[in-house]
Structure 1
Amino acid sequence: MDADCVAERAVSPVTGVVRWVVVDARSFDLHTEAVAFLASLRARGCSPNTERAYAGRVALYLSYCRIWRLDWRTPGFLDLARVQQRLIETPVQRRAGQARPGPVRYRSHGTANAIMTVVGEFLRFGAVHGWVPADTTALLSQPKLLRFTPPGFNTGESGQRRQIEAAAFRFQTTEPGYEDLSGEQIRGMIAAAPSCRDRFLIALMACTGLRIGEALGLHRGDMHLLASPRAVGCGVEGPHVHVRRRTDNPNRALAKSQHHRFVPVTADLVALYTDYQYERDRVAVAGESEMVFVNLFRPPLGRAMSYPNAKEMFDRLGRTVGHACRPHMLRHSAATRWLRDGVDRDVVQRLLGHASPLSMEQYRHVDDAEARAAVERVSFLTERP
């Protein structure tokens, strides 16, 4: 499908700040309403990755509307259902500059659901500003009675809160589960990493459970790695890392949590950071940056390491070690290990920076050994003294 609307990076010639916009692929005119929607994401403090993903999804919806000669403001129920179905039936376009075409890929039901969620947000945003009629937004949800509720959910005295508004355009999907890494796999990743910087980044995320945005957003002043905090005027005992949400990082790395927290670190992690500092000191311009993770091997040297740089590093590492190496897997691995080792859930919640205890449910994985031990523990075929 030739897109009529596309998402593009827009770089300010004055400040160098990167924004995402939606433009007409033929006239290069900005799509005013879509650009306003993306600006609202920035105003809410959403991450650059969220803005980039939303830009592409809105552009895809607008392209479908133009091809089918629909007014994007007033799609009917069947029009939105058609968009939903086309998302999984249309091959994903090959990226510009890709060397080889590769196999034809199609979107999963889960990906289609994510796109339709953004379409719904875009239309609701338009309704708030008077661009989209209320009749359109009324199509986006339908009443649903919750048969099962999450732990801690208050259904009300007579169960009145069991009825919620659910997305009308959503495929039924199976929970994919979450992948974590064994200790042996993580140690293999650290050993295979080509630089001290990359080894420290992997170990930091595996030992502290930091998100990739939190790690890339660290400033050197956040690294309180001395045994005594008095030298840096900090009241936290022992070596630790401070995680702060900043909206002005040069690489636009953003901590998801609004609340400042600190995470203790071990002596082994401090040693890896020391190795990285020796490596960093050999690149003179790196000393000018206050960011912890910077470019050391490719231009622009000394600039804060970006998320695409980190993703490329993890992709290369995955090919080297022969298994998936996504940054968030290290966070899941840390949380799973803590819970499996009996660390109090409140402590794990604080270390991960979760506001709600319900967010912890996704991290408790039962491995094969635990399942087998449980069955053998109650087996009536085994004689017990």
Structure 2
Amino acid sequence: MELDRAVDAYLRHVTVERGLSEHTVAAYRRDLSGYVEWLVARGVEESDAVTPALVAAFAAERASASPMPAASSLARLQSSVRGLHRFLAREGLEPSDPSARLRPPKQPSRLPKALTVDQVERLLATPDDSVIGLRDRALLELLYATGARVSEAVGLDVDDLAHGDVLRLRGKGSKERIVPVGSYARAAMDAYLTRARPELSRRGRASPRLFLGARGAPLSRQSAWLVIQRAAERAQLSARVSPHTLRHSFATHLLQGGADVRVVQELLGHASVATTQIYTHVSVEALRDVYATSHPRAR
């Protein structure tokens, strides 16, 4: 099969069969476009002509590029290549998988950055009682109360709130999960729905989306990011704050409060508890800091 057709078939597969998000599929498309260009430049135009040596040479060349790519970017690139060849071999379009021996690069262990409880409270206190301020407070409270990804939050419909004190979130791969919503977030959402959203809705076309922009259109991921940045600046937080910072803070504060890691896994929508366990390391670091500053013989 021609390489371009093979890539198109694989991307259809991950979109339809695996339900990957459009952002993930777009990243795979960029990675595989560069891979195909590299192969074609070496005279390879059919998928069954790709050899393990070619795959290894491509990975080595990309790993030694200048400037050196981040380990996460390189890992995603190799994942795209492995996924393509596994799919083609499984469908009988290649005699074997030439990427089978490709090993992903070892990524450095980076602990997520979480805010303190005091910093979160300062952040949540920044919006005013204007129409936009009520929306911003509802968004911020919801992100911290549920640990939702920003894409999950802006993808919510008003009907997703119709479950009392719980919320239905649609995560990666369109997987749904139910998470509780605390009283502060519920109060902020009620204020937004009764005092702000009707006004925003009148400014644009009718939309079922929960969060709306200033002109009535559904709030975008980029606009939600700006909401958090503005709040962080007003709260005078020196640390870089992103939508994921609130998700990290949600998980860290739950574990520090005694929550079981399996419960936090369910709330975050992680497929594996191993992904969640990075937050236990954050909690251990916090314990070490308290011990070092409090115990008379710690130093």
The 1:381–1:291 alpha-carbon spacing in structure 2 relative to 1, beyond 3 Å, is closer
Shift of 1:129: 3.0
1:38 — aligned with what? 11
Structure richer in strand, relative to its length: 1
Please state how far the C-alpha of 1:255 moved relative to its aligned partner: 5.4
Which structure has greater helix proportion?
Answer: 2
For 2:100, the equivalent position in structure 1 comes to 140
Q: Structure 2 CA distance, aligned partners of 1:280 and 1:274?
A: 10
Question: Within the alignment, does 1:240 sit opposite 2:165 as a pair?
Answer: yes
Pick closer, same or farther for the CA change 1:139–1:48 going to 2, 3 Å: closer
Q: Can you give the 5+ residue segments of structure 1 that lack an aligned partner in the other structure?
A: 1-29, 92-104, 142-167, 225-233, 246-253
Instruction: Give the equivalent residue in structure 2 for 1:371.
Output: 288
**Offset of 1:244 from its aligned partner?**
4.5
Alpha-carbon offset, residue 35 of structure 1: 1.7
User: Could you give the per-residue CA deviations for residues 117-145 of structure 1, whole angstroms, max 9, x where no partner exists?
Assistant: 111101111223333331xx15423xxxx
State the 1:372 CA deviation.
3.8
Pick aligned residue for 1:220 from 136, 158, 163:
158
**2:109 pairs with 1:181:** no
Matched, 1:195 2:133: yes
In the TM superposition, residue 189 of structure 1 has moved relative to its aligned partner by: 3.5
Structure 2 partner of 1:119: 81
CA RMSD of aligned residues (A): 3.3
Match of 2:241 in 1: 325
Q: Which has the higher contact order (CA 8 A, sep 6+)?
A: 2
- What are the superposed Cα offsets for residues 1-43 of structure 1, whole Å, 9 maximum, x if unpaired? xxxxxxxxxxxxxxxxxxxxxxxxxxxxx93222221111111
Give the CA deviation at 1:280: 2.3
> What is the identity, as a one-letter code, of the residue corresponding to 1:185?
Q
C-alpha contact 2:252 2:283 (8 A) present in aligned 1: no
- In 2, are the aligned partners of 1:208 and 1:334 still within 8 Å (CA)? yes
TM-score normalised over the length of structure 1 = 0.64
TM-score when scaled to structure 2?
0.80
1:172 matched to 2:132? The reply is: no
Q: Is the 8 A contact 2:20 2:172 kept in 1?
A: no
**Alignment partners' CA distance in 2, 1:376 and 1:195:** 39
* Contact 2:148 2:169 survives alignment (8 Å): no
Gaps of 5+ in 2: none
**C-alpha displacement at 1:218, in angstroms?**
1.8
Q: Which has more radius of gyration? A: 1
CA contact (8 A) 2:165 2:186 kept: no
Question: Structure 2 CA distance, aligned partners of 1:63 and 1:46?
Answer: 24
Instruction: Provide Cα deviations, 1:150-173, integer angstroms capped at 9, x if missing partner.
Output: xxxxxxxxxxxxxxxxxx243233
Which residue pairs with 2:56 in the alignment?
81
Please say if residues 124 and 132 of structure 1, whose CA atoms lie closer than 8 Å, have aligned partners that are also in contact. Answer: no
Partner-residue secondary structure (3-state), 2:283: coil
| Residue 224 (structure 2) aligns with | 310
Farther-moved stretch of structure 1 (342-351 vs 174-183): 342-351
Equivalent position of 2:27 in the other structure: 53
Aligned length: 287
Instruction: Give me the whole-angstrom Cα distance separating, in 2, the residues matched to 1:88 and 1:305.
Output: 37
CA separation in 1, counterparts of 2:227 and 2:30? 24
CA–CA separation in structure 1 for the residues paired with 2:229 and 2:33: 27
Aligned CA distance change for structure 1 residues 47 and 380 (closer, same or farther; 3 Å): same
**1:204 Cα deviation from its structure 2 partner:** 0.8
